[in-house]
Structure formats: C-alpha cells, structure tokens
Amino acid sequence: MAELKALEILGQIQVLVIDKLQVVSYKWLSRNFSVPSNQAKRLLQEFIDKHDDKVEVLYSLSGWLKNNSEKYSIRLASGQKLEESMKEFDGNCSVEVYSIQSCIPKDLAVLWNAEFVQAEELFNQPSTADNCLRNNRFGGIFNPFVERVVNGQLAATSTSQLKANVEIVQTKTTNIPKDEVLQPQQEKRQLVAKEVLKSTSTVGSVCKTDQTVGDYTTKSRPTKESTNPLQANRRGVPNEKTSSATGGSLATLWGRASVKPRPSNMVLDSTSNNPNAAYTADAQICAEEAADAVSSDDESYGVSRKGWSNGSGNRKRQFIINYSDEEDEDDNVVPLASPIPPNEKSFSDSLQNTKKLNMEKEIFCTEELKAETLVNKQDSSKDRTYGLSPEKCSTAEVSLLKTENNLQNELVNQNVKDSASIASKRKKVVKTRIDERGREVMEVVWEEPICGKGADKDNNTIESENRPTATANKEQSTGSNILANTGIKGGAKKPGKVGGKDVKQGNIMSFFKKV
C-alpha cells in the first residue's frame, strides 16, 4: 500500500513540477498528501533520482559554519551551489532535499508560495478542525517544551512583554497573521524596507524554543516599536483593532491578511471552500514590494500594489498608483480584477511566478535564503509560527538578527543589491485588452526586458492566455449562475411565480362565460 501511495504521489509530483511548474517543497508535499515530512523528503529524492535532468533541486543544509561556529545554521542551496555551500560548513552538515521545481525562481517568495497558501488554508479551517498544521503530526521534530495550543494563547509571551509600551500594537498583533505584518511594513517601506525583506524571508521561521523567543523579544523590542506603532497610527485601523480584540476565534482573526479593516463577519466567508489564494499573490508581492522599496529608496514616485483583501467575499484586488509621498490615500484605488477562483488563481500565479524565473543564478545566492530557511527545516517550529503573533514572528526574526548579526547584515546587503538589480530590470505594466469573449481584461504584469530561459517566453504566453481564462471562468460561472437563475424563473417556475399569467396558462374566462 505504501508503495502504491508513493508511486501515486510521485506521479502527482511530476504533474505539479513539470506541467504546472509549481515549486514542491517537502513541507507542502507532506501536508498535501498526508505523509510524514521525512517521507516527503525521501519521495522528493526519489523523484530527483528519476528525473534528474528535468528539475532543479534546492537542498537545505544544516550544521555549524566554519566562520561562525557558535551558531547552528540552516541554509538553502541550489544543486549547482551545493558543493560550494557545503564547504562553508564546518565538518559534516546534513543535506536534505528542500524543494524541487522546474527551474530556480528568481523571486524567492515563489519558493514558499504554495506552502504559504496551504498553511493559510489549514489555518482558516474552523478552529475545531484538528488538521496537520495544528497538531503537526507530520513534523519530524518535536519539542517537549513547546505546547501547542490552538485557541490563541500562543502569543501570550510577546503580548505581555509589549503591553507596557504599546497597547494598541499589542492588541493588534496578538492574533494577526504574519501576512499582516508584512503588508503594513510594506506600507512603510521607505523606513522598514529592510525589515520587510527580512521578515518576508523569515516567514515560517522561528526560534527553536519558546525560551529563546521570549528572551529575544525583550531585547529586540525597540526595533519593533519604531515600526509598528508608527504604522498602526498611520493606518488608523481602530476597527481592526477592536475586532481583533473582541473576536474570539483564532481563525476569525487569522483570516484577515488584509491591512484594511475588514468586518469580522468576513471570516465566515473565509472558512468557506474558497480559500484565500490571494495569499499567494500577497506573499509574492510583499517580496516584490520589498525589493521595490529597497531599490527606490530615493524615489518619491512609485507604483505599488496593495490592498489585497483576502476573504472570499471581499476578494478584490486593488491597484494603487501613488504619485506622491502620501501612501495611504485611497483616492487612487482602482479595482483591478475580479477575484479569481483559488485554484486557477494559484495556478496562474505560479505561472506568473515562473515567468520571473531568472537565469542569473548568482542572484539566487544561498546566502539570501538563509534567513528564510533558518528554521524552515524544523516542521515543529514552522508550525508554531502560524500560532505566533506577527509581532513575535518579527521579534523572532530580530532575534535571529541578534544571534546571527553578521550573517544578517550580510544578507541584507545582498538583498539590497539583488533586489535593486531585479527591480531595475522589471517594470510593472498594466495591460488592457479585449479577450475572445469580448470582455475587457486588465492585467498587471511584470515586464522583463531580459528573458531567462526559452521557457520564460512560453510562460509569458501561457500566462497571458491563462489569466483571462481564469477570470473568464469566474465570469462564466457567475454567468451560468445567472443563467441557472433565469432558467429557474423563466423555465420551470415561469407559470405562477412571476405574476401568475403565463402564455401557456389557460384562462378561466375562456371556459366560463360571464353571466
């Protein structure tokens, strides 16, 4: 049975990686097919053995570095860089498959997009549902000190620490998804761009035990306050705060990745079977924004996308063009696209992502991924991340900064350089065209003058085909709903309900004469 299952999963991996161009990480695999994470890694290795030539592999290396032997470090390395990276480790380091993909994405966010969406979906399940994210039953690492509580008490440490200083921030951050942290920061990107980059890449990572988190939180608090309160004040999100303060269920609060205040009843929607695929975009855009921000430090004029709200009811993507320094004016908000059904959406997103694949491998330096993958490897910790407040996440991240000060600095510098180079090559372009159904389709695409592989071009075309159909499908489905409705009204229900008189309905007067 197990072998059969493995074969089946391998087949699925092939479809996902080679046909759908998705990044398949062991974590995603493990949760998606309900296999233990270690087995997921083995499966990936098996797949690599079979399809060595077709896929690019990312390995996760963990061990002690030569130049900094005090810190246990985990980093990702692509297949080509594997040897090189291994040399940086002191003595033996463990090498395991992290993910496979058809090519190494230029945009790092793509690496954990699928995971992220998956985790969000699991998270948005009703709090009663005991899914693999909550109980971490597939994780390879268990920590006796970590007690997993599903109902929102996780963030207690960071909350209490911050209480004295910033009450607003504290209530706000107690239960907000990490995404929320990313987005606000992105609003403040001139100031905290570096933070964003780091936290973007450290999403999903957390210190190994509660203990350390707690310690570092205290130390790193000043940094946080310089960003969060500001941003909280700027945004002026009292609604959000109150709702997050009063809302009981964790799922309620975690459903809101949007920065914009959203009525808490939206949560009901988000638990529906339309999960928030918008996260995919969110996650990626965050990284992009960060890159943008870093590169455009001195520019007062920029184009940014923001305001993805998630819940299915509220799933509207907005496009904001800022021509001034004031970033928070909503006057320029242009509704960009109708929500896309999650599946198609994530698919198209992944296509879009692959479009950004970059051949310049040096940009995809292993260093850059370090923070992200630092603890990614640890399933248990990762699972906990979702239970942590963003505050905690970011403090955890800052604690990483502390522990690995040099490395982080290095990383940041590198990020700045890299993203600058990326940003300089890309342009965001709004394209409007009429699709085959006669609808006006507006898309925002990253236009890259430099195309990577030949596949890049293919992806471009695929994407331009795919996107409209995704929206078109949606429209079609609503259209068919309308049809169905009218069908009901006009067809079967025609006789009485509309007004009584129907063409086919006989009239009593034609049978009986007036006296």
Partner 1 sequence: MLELRLVQGSLLKKVLESIKDLVTDANFDCSATGFSLQAMDSSHVALVALLLRSEGFEHYRCDRNISMGMNLNNMSKMLKCAGNDDIITIKGDDGSDTVTFMFESPNQDKISDFEMKLMDIDSEHLGIPEAEYHAIVKMPSSEFSRICKDLSSIGDTVVISVTKEGVKFSTRGDIGTANIVCRQNKTVDKPEEATIIEMNEPVSLTFALRYLNSFTKATPLSESVTVSLSSELPVVVEYKIADMGYIRYYLAPKIEDDEEEMKS
**Residue whose CB is less far from partner 1, 300 or 486:** 486
Cα torsion for 367, 371, 374, 378, to the nearest 10°? -130
Which amino acid is it at 99?
A: S
**Least distance from partner 1 to the Cβ atom of residue 115, Å:** 40
**Residue whose CB is less far from partner 1, 164 or 515:** 515
**Least distance from partner 1 to the Cβ atom of residue 498, Å:** 10
**Residue whose CB is less far from partner 1, 2 or 508:** 508
Give me the residues paired with residue 427 across strands.
447
Radius of gyration in angstroms for the set of CA atoms belonging to the chain, rounded to a whole number = 25
C-alpha distances in Å from residue 91, one per residue of 95, 280, 403: 12, 38, 21
C-alpha distances in Å from residue 476, one per residue of 439, 473, 483: 11, 5, 10
**Least distance from partner 1 to the Cβ atom of residue 475, Å:** 22
CA distance 418 to 416: 5
Say if CB 451 and CB 356 are below 8 A apart: no
Nearest residue to 157 via CA among 210, 203, 202, 226:
210
C-alpha distances in Å from residue 405, one per residue of 73, 363, 401: 12, 21, 5
**Least distance from partner 1 to the Cβ atom of residue 11, Å:** 37
**Residue whose CB is less far from partner 1, 246 or 480:** 480
Tell me the H-state helices in 15-108. 26-33, 37-50, 82-88
**Least distance from partner 1 to the Cβ atom of residue 274, Å:** 23
**Residue whose CB is less far from partner 1, 1 or 509:** 509
Paired tokens of 81? 């860089």
**Residue whose CB is less far from partner 1, 153 or 477:** 477
Which one-letter DSSP state was computed for residue 89? Answer: B
**Least distance from partner 1 to the Cβ atom of residue 474, Å:** 22
Helices 405-425 and 390-403, interaxial angle, to 10°?
110
> Which residues of this chain interact with partner 1, rule CB under 8 A?
484, 487-488, 491-497, 499-502, 504-515
Say if CB 127 and CB 150 are below 8 A apart: yes
Q: How far is CA 34 from the centre of its chain?
A: 21
**Residue whose CB is less far from partner 1, 7 or 498:** 498
**Residue whose CB is less far from partner 1, 153 or 505:** 505
Residue entry with tokens 């992200």: 372
**Residue whose CB is less far from partner 1, 431 or 497:** 497
**Least distance from partner 1 to the Cβ atom of residue 310, Å:** 33
**Least distance from partner 1 to the Cβ atom of residue 488, Å:** 6
Q: Which residues contact 245 (CB under 8 A, 6 or more apart)?
A: 171, 174
**Least distance from partner 1 to the Cβ atom of residue 398, Å:** 58
